[in-house]
Amino acid sequence: MTWRELLLRAYPRSWRDEYGEEFAGLLAQRRLTFAVVADVLSGAARQHLNRDAPWKICGAGLFLWTCIGLLLGGSPPFSGAAVPFTILVAGTWTGSLKNLGVREAIAMSGRVVLAGVSPDLIVGLLRGPVTRYTDSTLWHQWGLYFGTSLTISRWDYFSMMLTFTLFESMLFGLAGAIMGRFVAGLREGLRGDVGGVA
């Protein structure tokens, strides 16, 4: 794969289907300088913001946040606090754009969580059995902890993380969808008021 093809891949698929061929033709006629690469990447970011579903953007944000958390020491609370917040944002954002049903809200927030915390899950699996202590753990906050330390197997870690995050996604996904409906209603009301005044 060439650099130009890689740059084209940075754009959303729906955009590539529409403009990909002519854009590739244009890129082929330009020398790839740093300024051109930066310009193309910034264009790709804007297309993602304009075209992608909110869950993709929120999932990507949470993914980055989790990666930073792992690089800084990998404490579960680092990504833990961000997970419900991101699901709420994604739910409210999507819900304000369209009337989300219960199943849709859960599916959307599940995607956000799975995309966002996947580095944590993968690192947990690769790392193997881990011991967590009371002063820096999430486990004792869940009520699953007895004693001064807890050693868990990689599969226990994986299934606990997965169960907890999926439960979280259901709870906060629904809350986000409800808030989204409220925001959409508020916006409609404001639009009506402005129309009435006009």
Binding characters for another protein, 38-77, by CB under 8 A (x = yes): -xxxxxx-xx--x---------------------------
Cα distance between residue 155 and residue 153, in whole Å: 5
Closer by beta carbon to another protein, 8 or else 115: 8
Q: Where are the beta strands (DSSP E) in the chain?
A: 130-133, 149-152
For position 19 contacting another protein by CB under 8 A, the verdict is yes
Whether 4 and 27 have beta carbons less than 8 Å apart is answered as yes
For position 31 contacting another protein by CB under 8 A, the verdict is no
Q: What is the token pair recorded at 154?
A: 């990689």
CB of 153 vs another protein, minimal distance in Å: 48
Q: Give the binding range for another protein (CB under 8 A) out of 21-29, 112-120, 121-129, 176-184.
A: 21-29
* Of residues 82, 146, 93, the one with CA closest to residue 115: 82
* Of residues 114, 1, 2, 123, the one with CA closest to residue 59: 114
For position 34 contacting another protein by CB under 8 A, the verdict is no
For position 139 contacting another protein by CB under 8 A, the verdict is no
Q: Give the binding range for another protein (CB under 8 A) out of 16-24, 85-93, 105-113, 119-127.
A: 16-24
Cα distance between residue 95 and residue 183, in whole Å: 8
Per CB under 8 A, the list member of 26, 81, 125, 186 interacting with another protein is 26
